[in-house]
Amino acid sequence: MLDVVVIGAGVIGLTSALRLQEEGLRVIVVTADEPLSTTSAVAAAVWYPAGFDGGDRVAAWSARTFAELARQAADEVPGVSMRLTRMLSHRQEAGPAPWWGAAVPDMRRLEPAEPAPAYASGWEFTVPTVEMPVYLPWLVGRFLDAGGELVQQRINSLREARAWAPAVVNASGLGARQLCGDGALQPVRGQLLLVRNPGLHTSLRVQDDPAGYTYIHPRSTDVVLGGTFDEGSWDTAADPATARAILARCTALAPELRDAEILGHPVGLRPARRGGIRLEADTRTLPGTRLVHNYGHGGAGVTLCWGCADTAAALLAPTAN
């Protein structure tokens, strides 16, 4: 008999499943979409707590995930590396260090002459970068090697999950709108542009660009360019005009990208939740079933995943057997 069923095979579901296995539990992951078809697969996946204003829980989850991904980078886990990042601003003063800065050992304020042309201030730091098309299969392989099971099947209610195990972790992302009737969840559409890497090594981001949020995240063979934050949009089709605007903003910041070969136009729907992440034990929805919710991470799933997985396992593991 299995001990726990995890709903969802994005980065939140897979990391939760792995932490539960480390507690000695027998785990099955049930997913409507195979891992490389989830929103996690198209994420730019640079550690950065986007969309959150802090708070003790989010700060702790972010810091714990930073530490775990930094350890994995040192251990040469496939797809994980540490990358220098510059956060640029048009403001003359960069302001105080971000609330999450305590988790980043080498954060420093840029000197006046250091920002790129047209930018007046900024911060520099090194953070984990994760190439999700490589990392997600590694997570799945680690899970299966430890005796886990993965089933691709859509479920329409949390009650259906009881067919697999007496305890449930709901990491269904936007699927929780239906499974939990959670109207606080909404999609935040993100359109990206993938280009062949012309030799860039440093991530760049500008959050106060009047033309739109701009980021450039180099990976081993390509560069992720972005982006958009379209609240409430369920449209997963790439818009050519948006792609042109992203490319224009990014080439203005990094002219090396001007002639880079375009490789793709991925679009993902971030599972944002009004009121913040739902990570809690639920004793009312399924009486007699141990249920933990772990969803609503918006665009920060990779940034928070391991810390949230630790909490989900702690909520469930002591009583799962």
pLDDT digit string (tens) for 58-102? 999 999 999 999 999 999 999 999 999 999 998 877 678 899 999
Q: At what angle do helices 301-320 and 56-74 cross, to 10 degrees?
A: 100
Whether the per-residue pLDDT at 277 is higher than 50: the answer is yes
Q: Provide the pLDDT for residue 318.
A: 61
CATH assignment of 4-320, among 3.30.1050.10, 2.40.30.110, 3.40.50.720, 3.30.9.10? 3.30.9.10
Q: What's the pLDDT tens digit per position in 207-253?
A: 888 888 899 999 999 999 999 999 999 999 999 999 999 999 999 99
Beta strands in the chain (DSSP E): 4-7, 27-31, 80-89, 108-109, 121-130, 149-152, 167-170, 185-196, 203-206, 214-218, 222-226, 230-231, 262-264, 267-273, 278-282, 290-295
Domain boundaries, the chain: 4-320
Higher per-residue pLDDT: 55 or 274 = 274
pLDDT level of residue 320 (50, 70, 90 thresholds): very low
Q: Provide the pLDDT for residue 95.
A: 75
Least confident window among 3-17, 96-110, 169-183, 188-202:
96-110
Higher per-residue pLDDT: 1 or 43 = 43
Alpha helix ranges (H) inside the chain: 11-22, 56-74, 132-145, 176-179, 240-253, 301-320
Q: Provide the pLDDT for residue 321.
A: 42
Mean per-residue pLDDT of the chain = 94
pTM metric for this prediction: 0.95
